Amino acid sequence: MTGKNLFAPPEDQNAFTDILFNALLGFAFMFSVAFILIRPEVTEGKINPKAEFMITAQWPDGHQDDIDLIVEDGEGNLVWFDAREAGLMHLDRDDRGWLGDAITVSGKKIENPLNQETVTIRGIAAGEYVVNLLHYKAETGRPVPVKVKVEKLNPQVNVVFAGTNTLAGAGDEQTAVRFKLDATGKVLGLATRDKLLIRTEDFDAKQENAKQNGSGE
């Protein structure tokens, strides 16, 4: 019995062993690939906001004055600090100048001097969009330069408009740009002709009442 171990196994047994080993190896590989494909994608912590256009208004960092960004769509919907959502538009950031620029965390003061308001358009609706600026509160008593930018985000970021308006003081409302969209989101034209969106007698009365009460936006 012992002497038989000195002889090599038959050739057909070697072939069978090789085939079995390769089959097991292939099965293990396919199992690994299948496991990778069925593993759920980790999405926790990811943010994927849907937006077609982004409009920003920015004035000097650390400036005390309160500037408001106001946008009207083709249907007359209006978005600003008093109506943060309207139609397909959303006010993502309302900046009040130097107010709220500093917070205290664990006894340490943290400051963010950036002055910027942002409105996103989260779908395509044909019509004319009007982008206005309102000098809501003037703490410094001096004119404020405000940069306005309109960007088309899809399929790639493209700057539609970039310009600067100088606001003279509290209550000054100016049109930065007006742009028209077709049903596909194509920009058909730009204009800067003024169109007041907020400055009405009702608004002036509301602002004066806020001043008297020591409150405001």
- Is residue 150 within 8 A of residue 131, CB to CB? The reply is yes
Could you tell me the pTM of the whole model? 0.68
Residue 20: predicted pLDDT:
64
Task: Kindly report the CATH number assigned to the domain that includes residue 200.
Answer: 2.60.60
Residue 197: predicted pLDDT:
95
The three-point CA angle 65-175-70 to 5° equals 60
Residue 109 lies in a domain: yes
Residue 82 lies in a domain: yes
Residue 193 lies in a domain: yes
- For residue 160, the one-letter residue type is V
* pLDDT per position as a tens digit, 31-81: 665 555 554 454 454 444 589 999 999 999 988 899 999 999 999 999 999
Q: Answer yes or no: is pLDDT of 132 > 50.
A: yes
* pLDDT per position as a tens digit, 156-206: 999 999 999 999 999 999 999 999 999 999 999 999 999 999 876 556 666
Residue 199: predicted pLDDT:
72
Q: Answer yes or no: is pLDDT of 212 > 90.
A: no
CA distance 180 to 115: 27
Distances (CA, A) of 10 to 6, 35, 44, 70: 12, 38, 58, 88
| Mean of all residue pLDDT scores within the chain | 80
Question: pLDDT tier at 94 (50, 70, 90 boundaries)?
Answer: confident
How many CA atoms lie less than 13 Å away from 144 in the CB half-sphere?
33
Residue 17 lies in a domain: no
CA distance 90 to 51: 10
- Is residue 52 within 8 A of residue 124, CB to CB? The reply is yes
Residue 149 lies in a domain: yes
Beta bridge mates, 173: 134
Give the range of the structural domain holding residue 195, as residue numbers without chain letter: 53-213
Question: pLDDT tier at 142 (50, 70, 90 boundaries)?
Answer: very high
Residue 77: predicted pLDDT:
97
- For residue 155, the one-letter residue type is P
Task: Report the share of the chain in percent with pLDDT over 90.
Answer: 53
Considering Cα of 131, then 136, then 140, then 141, what sign does the dihedral take?
Answer: positive
- Is residue 76 within 8 A of residue 87, CB to CB? The reply is no
How many structural domains does the chain have? 1
Q: Which residue has the higher pLDDT, 25 or 7?
A: 25
Q: Which residue has the higher pLDDT, 143 or 40?
A: 143
CA distance 5 to 26: 31
Residue 3 lies in a domain: no
